[in-house]
Amino acid sequence: MMQRRAFGRHALGHLSHVQLFSDYPMITMKREITCISCPLGCSLEVSLADGQVVAVTGNECPRGVAYARQECVHPERMVTALIPIPGRTPPLSVRTERPIPKNRISDCLCAIAAARPTLPIRIGDVIIPDVVGVGVAVIATRDLL
Amino acid sequence: MNAIIPIDVLIIGGGPAGLAAALAAKAAGADDILILERENELGGILRQCIHTGFGLHIFKEELTGPEYAARYISDVQAQNIPAQCDTMVIDITSDRLVTCVSAAHGLQQFQAGAIVLAMGCRERPRGALGIPGARCSGIYSAGTAQRFVNLEGYLPGRRVVILGSGDIGLIMARRLTFAGIKVEAVVELMPYSSGLKRNIVQCLDDFGIPLMLSHTVTAIHGKGRLTGVTISKVDADLKPIPGSELHLPCDTLLLSVGLIPENELSRNAGVDLDATTGGPVVDNRLQTSVPGIFACGNVLHVHDLVDHVSVEAAEAGRQAALAAASRHQDEPESAVTVRAGDGVRGIVPQRINSEALTTAPVKLMFRPSSVCRNAVLVVEADGVPVHRVKKRVLTPGEMVELSIKPDFFAAVKPVRELCISCENQ
Ligand SMILES: Cc1cc2nc3c(=O)[nH]c(=O)nc-3n(C[C@H](O)[C@H](O)[C@H](O)COP(=O)(O)OP(=O)(O)OC[C@H]3O[C@@H](n4cnc5c(N)ncnc54)[C@H](O)[C@@H]3O)c2cc1C
Ligand code: SF4
C-alpha cells in the first residue's frame, strides 16, 4: 500500500522517460497504444492497475507518458457529424465544442442524428446544449440560412 | 464578347490559398483585386473537410474546415474584396490575359497586373494506377466520396474497402463508420502509411478497422456494380506475391492514392513545372518562371496543413501586390538554384535571388524521401557544407521547413547552387 500511495495519481505527474515498476504488486492489465504526440509514433506498452497507468515503456520522450495517461485513463475525442435537413443541401455539419469521453461517441452520434434543428442556422449556433449529459455542446460549423 | 477588363491583382481559386493571398495583397496596398472561383461559394476543399484539425497553428484552436474557411471569408468580405463565384478560368497567357466563363457574365477577359495561381490540387484517378479487372460502378476517389457525403448528402455504398492510406482515405473511413457503413479494410502498398499517426489511431484503431500494409488490390470484381476486390501481399519490390490473394466482398472501393497539383492553366501560360512537386518552379518571392505570375497553396506543392497554406499564400499575395504596383518587367537577376540532394525531395522554392539569400532568412519546404530517425539535414553551397541541423524524426507524410539564414554563408557564398540533403544516422 505504501508503494501504491507513492505512485498514486499525483506522483505519476513526475514520471519521465522510461518508467518501469516491474515489481509493482497490482498490475492487472497491459495495453499497446501508439503515441500520437509527434510524428515518431512510438508504440507504447502501458501497464494499468486499478484503471491507473503505473508504467509506460517504448516511449522515446516524456510526452509519451502523458499521452498514455490521457489515452488509457480518460480517452477523449472531438466528434463531427452531419444532420440532413430535408430539402436542403449541403447537410448541416456540426461538432462537439470540446472533446468528449471516447466511450460516449456512439451515444453522441445518436443524439445528433435525432436532432431536428430549425433554420436559419449560423456557424457557432448551439444545436444541442449538453449532449448525452457530458457537459459539452454540439455546435453548427457552417451557416444554413 | 465584352471588353477586356484591367485589374491589378487577379486571384485564381477561392480556397484558403486564394483567400489569404487576397487579404495580403490588400494589406500590401493593392486596391483593385478580384478572386475568381469555379464553385458556387468560397472556401475550396475546406468546405467538405468537416472534421477537426484545422487552425491549430494560426488560431490555436481545433477548427473544422468550414469554420477555418469562414474566418478568412468574413475578413475578405469585411475588406470589400470582390469574389466572383461560379466562374471557371479557362485560359491564362504569359502576358497575363485571363479568360473565364460563367453563366452570369458569359465569356470575360481580364488583363491582370499580377496573377496569383491558387487552384489547389486534384486526386490521382484510378486510371493513373492501372488496377486490372472489371470496369464496374462503385469505385470513387476518396475526395469524391467525401464530397458526396459531406456536401451532397449521399452515401457511396454499404461495404467499403479503401485503397491507399492517405489522410483523406483515413478520414473517410471514420466518416463512413459514423454513418453506419462497414469499412472492411484500408489497404496500403507501402510498408508504412502516408497518413498522420493521429488519423490512423483516431480513424482506424478506434473502430477496429484493419490497416493492411504491404498489400494492394490486384483485381476488381463485379458486373454493373462492384461485388468485391482481390487483395494480395506485395514483396520488397512492391510486386504482388502469387498465392497471397484474399477476396474481400464489398460494394464500394475508395482510392486515396495521392494528390496532384492542378496545373493545366499554368502550362498554358508557359509556366515551368517541377517534375517532383507537380507544381510551378518558383523563386523566393513565389514568382513562377513567368514574370507577374505567382503561385501558392496546393497548386504549388501538396501541403498537409492548411495553416502553412495560409502563410505561404499571404506571401504570394503580398509579392503580387508589389509586382502589380511597380509594373516592372523583371530584369533577369542572379539566382541560386536549390537542388534536392540525397534523401530529400520536392524543395520549394527552387530558385533564390542571390541577394535575398544574404540579407534575410529564406524558408525552404520539402519532404524526406523516406522515414528518417535521427536525421541530419545538410546545407551545401556550391558543394561546400555550410550548415548541419539534427532532426529527431522526419517522415514523408509531414513537410519539413528549413530556414536558410544569411550567417550560413559567412565563409562561402553560393553563386550557382544550394543543395539540401538528409543523412540518416
Ligand atoms: C480530405 C482532406 C483532409 C485534410 N485535412 C486537413 C487537416 O486535418 N488539417 C489541415 O490543416 N489541413 C488538412 N487538409 C489540407 C488543406 O485542406 C489543404 O492544404 C488546403 O485546402 C489547400 O488550399 P488551396 O487553397 O491551395 O486549395 P483548395 O482548397 O483546393 O482550393 C482551390 C480552389 O480553386 C478553385 N479552382 C481550381 N481551378 C479553378 C479554375 N480553373 N477556375 C476557377 N477556380 C478554380 C477550386 O474550385 C477551389 O475552390 C486536408 C485536405 C483534404 C483534401
Ligand atoms: S513518446 Fe515522445 S517521441 Fe515517441 S511518439 Fe510520443 S511524443 Fe514522439
Q: Residue A36 and residue B70: Cβ atoms within 8 Å?
A: no
List residues bridging with A113 in a β-sheet.
Answer: none
CATH of B125-257 given 3.20.20.80, 3.30.1060.10, 3.90.1010.10, 3.50.50.60: 3.50.50.60
Ligand nearest to the CA of A61: 2
Q: How far is the CA of A65 from the centre of ligand 2 (A)?
A: 9
Beta strands of B13-120 (E only): which ranges?
33-36, 52-54, 63-64, 83-84, 87-92, 97-102, 106-117
Q: Is A61 in the pocket of ligand 2 (CB under 6 A)?
A: yes
List the residue whose alpha carbon is closest to atom 37 of ligand 1: B119
In one-letter notation, the amino acid at residue B305 is: L
Given a contact cutoff of 8 angstroms between Cβ atoms, the answer to whether B382 and B415 are in contact is yes
Q: What is the pLDDT of residue B267?
A: 95
Q: Smallest Cβ distance to B66: which of A39, A84, A93?
A: A93
CATH of B5-122+260-326 given 3.50.50.60, 3.40.50.2300, 2.40.260.10, 3.30.230.10: 3.50.50.60
Residue limits of CATH 3.50.50.60 in chain B: 5-122+260-326, 125-257
Q: Residue A141 and residue B66: Cβ atoms within 8 Å?
A: yes
Q: Which CATH number is associated with domain B335-424?
A: 2.60.40
Question: Domain segments of chain A: what residues?
Answer: 2-74, 77-140
Q: Residue A90 and residue B197: Cβ atoms within 8 Å?
A: no
Q: Residue A90 and residue B52: Cβ atoms within 8 Å?
A: no
Tell me the chain A residues in contact with residue B204 when contact means C-beta distances shorter than 8 Å: none
Q: What is the pLDDT of residue A13?
A: 38
Angle at the Cα of B272 (from B313 to B95), degrees rounded to 5?
80
What does pTM read for this prediction? Answer: 0.90
CA pair distance B325, B109, nearest whole angstrom = 21
Given a contact cutoff of 8 angstroms between Cβ atoms, the answer to whether B121 and B259 are in contact is yes
| CA nearest to B64 within chain A | A141
- ipTM of this complex prediction, to 2 decimal places: 0.87
Q: In which element (H, E) is residue B12 found?
A: strand B5-12
Peptide bond preceding A62 in cis form (omega within 30 of 0):
no
Handedness of CA B58, B63, B68, B71 (dihedral sign): negative
Tens of each residue's pLDDT in chain B, 425 residues? 579 999 999 999 999 999 999 999 999 999 999 999 999 999 999 999 999 999 989 999 989 999 999 999 999 999 999 999 999 999 999 999 999 999 999 999 999 999 999 999 998 876 556 777 777 889 999 999 999 999 999 999 999 999 999 899 999 999 999 999 999 999 999 998 888 888 999 999 999 999 999 999 999 999 999 999 999 999 999 999 999 999 999 999 999 988 889 999 999 999 999 999 999 999 999 999 999 999 999 999 999 889 999 999 999 999 999 999 986 555 557 789 999 999 999 999 999 998 888 889 999 999 999 888 889 999 999 999 999 999 988 888 889 999 999 999 888 888 789 999 999 86
Residue limits of CATH 2.60.40 in chain B: 335-424
Q: Helix %, strand %, coil % for chain A, to 5?
A: 25, 30, 45
Residue A87 half-sphere exposure toward CB, CA atoms < 13 A: 3
| CA nearest to B393 within chain A | A40
List residues bridging with B130 in a β-sheet.
Answer: none
Atom of ligand 2 minimally distant from the CA of A40: 5
| CA nearest to A85 within chain B | B153
Fold of A77-140: CPE0013-like fold (3.10.530)
